[in-house]
């Protein structure tokens, strides 16, 4: 166990304990915090806490976190496309098809399994199943992802994501011709009311989500976009464009369209119909380095299966 201590000041006095912890640098969800409290792993002034407990000025909150190396997650010799690495962080180009961290049904072959083999230590703030993981990309999404090697780096990066100071730029190909050259989608996102594996913009318990987009090229019934997200909700880009009836090409969850029925260019239609992943790639990630606070920006080129499609679009001169 590793202990993290917080001292309550006047600004946070009177808040519920679980809300206070969720608002601070521990990279845990409210449900994970409640679980820790219920397991007596959170104490206030050395006394086991309650989730609804209100904190007072001067209270000392102790959170006991398990070290990630004690988890039954095996290190696996899986190749990693490392973009940058130092003693604080590692930046990787995640391939499509790789899950970021272990969960039910995916306890091997994940990015975490690969990282545990390649790195001597990872931050433990994210818990035993998510060592070093500050943010995620969907399984089918490729591109730049930063991982924390120590708790200080993890807390700094988590705060930047929370404060929305991280630059996140994606390349996306969507069905249909966008009505404008650029725009912003500001629609709340939450769990779908009947399918818990999907997200929706029509849920009553959605959270704020903002997506900015710009058209790079049009071809047949397709739009190649540069997308930047101000927030980082689950499936955000995929859900937002699906809500506009411009679903991401290759997305089996939020789109049922087939290129062959929409696109006149036979080679382009064939390439898209054979795509086994969404055309969504995290191309740029920019943040302030946790150690020296210098702004760093990292890029990942389009994977060949996506670049092949872009090359056809460029040659077609639509």
Catalytic residues: 138
Pairing relationship of beta strands 142-148 and 280-288 according to DSSP bridges: parallel
CA 114, 120, 121, 127 dihedral sign is: positive
Length of the chain: 318
Query: Are the C-beta atoms of 106 and 97 separated by less than 8 Å?
Result: no
Q: At what angle do helices 304-316 and 266-273 cross, to 10 degrees?
A: 160
Burial class (CB in 10 A: 0-12, 13-18, 19+), 213: buried
Beta strands in 231-305, from DSSP E residues, in sequence order: 280-288, 295-299
238: Cβ contacts below 8 Å, ≥ 6 apart: 138, 247, 248, 251, 253, 254, 278, 280
- Vertex 259: Cα angle to 279 and 188 (nearest 5): 50
Residue 151 vs residues 79, 140, 225: alpha-carbon distances, Å? 25, 28, 36
Cα separation of 95 and 146, whole Å? 14
Cα separation of 247 and 262, whole Å? 13
Cα separation of 22 and 202, whole Å? 25
Query: Are the C-beta atoms of 65 and 4 separated by less than 8 Å?
Result: yes
Residue 140 vs residues 166, 227, 297: alpha-carbon distances, Å? 22, 17, 23
């Amino acid at each position: 166990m590793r202990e993290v201590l917080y001292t309550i000041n006047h600004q946070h006095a009177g808040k519920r304990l679980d809300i206070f912890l969720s608002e601070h640098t521990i990279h845990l969800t409210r449900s994970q915090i409640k679980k820790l409290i219920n397991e007596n792993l959170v104490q206030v002034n050395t006394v086991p806490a309650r989730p609804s407990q209100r904190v007072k000025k001067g209270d000392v909150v102790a959170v006991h976190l398990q070290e990630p190396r004690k988890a039954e997650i095996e290190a696996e010799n899986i190749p990693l496309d490392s973009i940058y690495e130092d003693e604080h962080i590692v930046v990787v180009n995640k391939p499509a098809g790789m899950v970021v961290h272990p969960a039910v049904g995916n306890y091997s072959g994940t990015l975490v399994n690969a990282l545990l083999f390649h790195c001597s230590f990872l931050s433990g703030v994210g818990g035993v199943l998510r060592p070093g993981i500050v943010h995620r990309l969907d399984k089918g999404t490729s591109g730049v992802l930063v991982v924390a090697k120590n708790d200080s780096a993890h807390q700094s990066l988590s705060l930047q994501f929370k404060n929305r100071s991280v630059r996140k730029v994606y390349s996306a190909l969507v069905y249909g011709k966008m009505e404008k050259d650029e725009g912003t989608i500001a629609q709340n996102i939450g769990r779908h009311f009947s399918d818990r594996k999907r997200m929706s913009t029509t849920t009553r318990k959605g959270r704020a989500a903002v997506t900015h987009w710009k058209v790079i090229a049009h071809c047949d019934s397709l739009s190649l976009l540069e997308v930047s997200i101000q927030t980082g909700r689950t499936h955000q880009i995929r859900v937002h464009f699906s809500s506009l009836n411009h679903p991401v090409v290759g997305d089996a969850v939020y789109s049922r369209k087939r290129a062959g029925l929409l696109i006149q260019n036979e080679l382009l239609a064939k390439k898209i119909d054979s795509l086994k992943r969404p055309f969504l790639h995290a191309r740029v990630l920019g943040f302030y380095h946790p150690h020296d606070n210098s702004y760093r920006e990292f890029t990942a080129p389009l994977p060949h299966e996506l670049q092949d499609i872009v090359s056809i679009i460029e040659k077609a001169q639509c």
